[in-house]
Amino acid sequence: MFRVTCCCLALTLAAMGQATIHKTKDDSQETKLIVMEHLWNEAQVNRDAHALEGMLAADFINTEYDGEVSDKAKFLAEIRDPRLNLTTITIQDLKVNMYGDSGIVFGVYRTKGTYQGKPYEHIGRFTDTWVFTEGRWQCVASHTSLLKK
């Protein structure tokens, strides 16, 4: 009986250890995705389409707050568009849900800038879907919903 109890205790402790290791791994990946989101915003403000290109999967799809859908090429062309001048992008209330080699990041964003010389400010929600593939995190889909214009 003592042997059975010791075996059960050992298995329970091992399982708890695995759960702790798994949770630490998830936290690390969640942190990486949050960093990726901040780098994405920085690249947009700096009009660094090259940096963004490396973050986006080949089949990336973007759905804007107004319902417009764009693929990777169109999204990057919009970043390069000289009529668009983003002055700030901030994100807050970020949450990350991990699903194996995929992660969903969602939160609130605020953008300020000008488009065709006209100032604008948007506040909205975003959802980005990331997949760990080819040895790195890549965004496969992004969606925004406007809360306040």
pLDDT at residue 85, as a whole number: 93
pLDDT at 145: 96
Provide the pLDDT for residue 89.
97
Q: How many CB atoms within 10 Å of residue 73?
A: 11
Question: What is the pLDDT, as a whole number, of residue 27?
Answer: 85
Please tell me the predicted confidence (pLDDT) of residue 128: 98
Kindly report the CATH number assigned to the domain that includes residue 85. Answer: 3.10.450.50
pLDDT by residue for the chain (149 residues), tens only, comes to 444 333 444 444 444 443 333 444 458 999 999 999 999 999 999 999 999 999 999 999 999 999 999 999 999 999 999 999 999 999 999 999 999 999 999 999 999 999 999 999 999 999 999 999 999 999 999 999 999 75
Provide the domain count of the chain: 1
Whole domain around residue 88: which residue ranges? 2-148
